[in-house]
Amino acid sequence: MPRSLIAAQTAVQRLLDDAVADGSESAVQVAAYLAGELIVDAWAAPAGWPVDGRTLFPFFSTGKGIAATAVHRLVERGVLSWDEPIARHWPEFAAEGKGGITLRHALNHTAGLPMMPEAPDAVSLGDWDGMCAFLAASRPLHPPGAQRHYHAITYSWLLGETARRADGRDFGRIIAEEVCRPLGIDTLFFGLPAAARGRCVDVEPAATAPAPAVPAEPPPPPDPVAQRAIPPWVWPLEDWVNRADVRQACIPASNGMGNADAVARHYAALVGKGAAGVRLLGDAIVAAATHWDAVAEAAVAGAGRWGLGYGLQGPDEAPGAVFGHGGYGGSTGFVDTRNGLAIAVVKSRMGGPLTGHLLAAVQGAVGSR
């Protein structure tokens, strides 16, 4: 292995070991692929923790990119189309003026349906049919494509039920068969099976930060739409995702369970020669799903630079050159198409600066920054 790649593994492992030793982190995993080959496979945890490279971690919204890839596999085969109305496959979804909402709107967070039930007893998040009925009966906040509000949790059913109606398989099975099976992944779940529950760590709250020497500026006023997208009864998210019923449910926008290698391998399989020679999507559909139309986006009210289910992280001149999706607390997965570098981080403790340091270490070692 070239010296630079050995340096990447060494630098990452040192960062992990130091963060665990000083107590700022607990269990963490990192994986990276370069041109389809695994170059970083590192983890660390406090002494006595049964953690290794195959341990499973909850990773919240990092799963959105994986769910999008499963949908794009169906689009590539003609089972779905980004620009056909969702109601073509899910007729009851057309209620309350939603007949014009397309899969594209759901993927880029402009469907106008980020809001969750207002009370926990309205419908269980593990009740797939109940959540789909709630969304089908909901009135959108705005015409499709007019504004962008992050569909933090409802993305699960907007994508998943559309795919299920068109394809016939449950969405968890679609992801397993369209993403995991071709890549030989057995460490990624949206709906954790009983046999795997003992392999999944619990999420922990962020470490308490010291009080600032200078009083912080007052926080901005709360965003009422964001509060409806992740309602108070879901908080704290750390407790929510540790619940057995949530882990058993398929909520692919918010409750992925897997290891860093699975997330990174998935992204490696979207570019170049794929991961170990396996490509999940062709170049044309990846280019279309990561295309940024600055003129069209100027007409959309709302922040963010989005492709179809992926956040675009590349430079201004080529925003789709780096794409992927991060999650609450610091997990992330993405690929830099310019050099075929795919990286993923999953961690048990929420927050902190470690993820950024880890990404910089890998990118610096392979010269991709």
pLDDT single digits (tens) 37-57: 999 999 999 999 999 999 999
Read off the pLDDT band of 31 (50, 70, 90). very high
212 pLDDT higher than 70: no
Query: With contact defined as beta carbons under 8 Å apart, do 108 and 308 qualify?
Result: yes
What gap in Å lies between CA 347 and CA 231, rounded to an integer?
24
Give SS3 for 273: coil
CA atoms within 13 A on the CB side of 236: 9
Mean of pLDDT values over 132-140:
97
**Pair type for strands 57-58 and 188-189:** unpaired
Strands, sheet with 188-189, edge to edge from the N-terminal-most edge strand = 57-58, 257-258, 188-189
Residue for token digits 């449910």?
249
Give SS3 for 47: coil
Length of the chain equals: 369
211 pLDDT higher than 70: no
What gap in Å lies between CA 253 and CA 42, rounded to an integer?
26
What gap in Å lies between CA 330 and CA 24, rounded to an integer?
13
Query: With contact defined as beta carbons under 8 Å apart, do 106 and 304 qualify?
Result: no
311 pLDDT higher than 90: yes
**Strand spans (E) along 251-329:** 257-258, 311-312, 322-326
> What is the residue type of 146?
A
Burial bucket for residue 288 (CB in 10 Å: 0-12, 13-18, 19+): middle
Read off the pLDDT band of 300 (50, 70, 90). confident
pLDDT digits 0-9 by tens, 74-108: 999 999 999 999 999 999 999 999 999 999 999 99
Both tokens of residue 305? 């630079």
All structural domains of the chain with their residue ranges: 3-207+224-366
Query: With contact defined as beta carbons under 8 Å apart, do 340 and 368 qualify?
Result: no
> What's the pLDDT score for residue 247?
94
4 pLDDT higher than 60: no
Give SS3 for 132: helix
> What is the residue type of 80?
L
Q: Which fold has domain 3-207+224-366?
A: Beta-lactamase (3.40.710)
> What's the pLDDT score for residue 210?
61
Q: Which residues are paired to 32 by β-bridges?
A: 40, 343
What gap in Å lies between CA 194 and CA 330, rounded to an integer?
26
DSSP structural state of residue 367: T
What gap in Å lies between CA 285 and CA 73, rounded to an integer?
9
Percentage of residues of the chain with pLDDT beyond 90: 81
Query: With contact defined as beta carbons under 8 Å apart, do 112 and 149 qualify?
Result: yes
Angle of the 260-268 helix axis to the 63-76 helix axis, nearest 10: 40
Q: Model pTM?
A: 0.94
Of the ranges 14-18, 223-227, 318-322, which one carries the lowest mean pLDDT score?
223-227
159 pLDDT higher than 70: yes
pLDDT digits 0-9 by tens, 322-340: 999 999 999 999 999 999 9
Question: What rounded mean pLDDT belongs to the chain?
Answer: 93
> What's the pLDDT score for residue 52?
96
Find the helix or strand (DSSP H, E) in which 360 lies.
Answer: helix 354-366
What gap in Å lies between CA 128 and CA 159, rounded to an integer?
12
Of the ranges 12-21, 115-124, 208-217, 251-260, which one carries the lowest mean pLDDT score?
208-217
Query: With contact defined as beta carbons under 8 Å apart, do 224 and 142 qualify?
Result: no
Mean of pLDDT values over 226-243:
91
Find the helix or strand (DSSP H, E) in which 342 lies.
Answer: strand 341-347
> What's the pLDDT score for residue 215?
67
2 pLDDT higher than 70: no
pLDDT digits 0-9 by tens, 59-80: 999 999 999 999 999 999 999 9
User: How many Cβ atoms are within 10 Å of 338's Cβ, its own excluded?
Assistant: 13
Q: Which of 124-128, 339-343, 364-368 has the highest mean pLDDT?
A: 339-343
**Strand spans (E) along 50-140:** 57-58
Query: With contact defined as beta carbons under 8 Å apart, do 31 and 1 qualify?
Result: no
Query: With contact defined as beta carbons under 8 Å apart, do 279 and 270 qualify?
Result: yes
**Pair type for strands 257-258 and 37-44:** unpaired
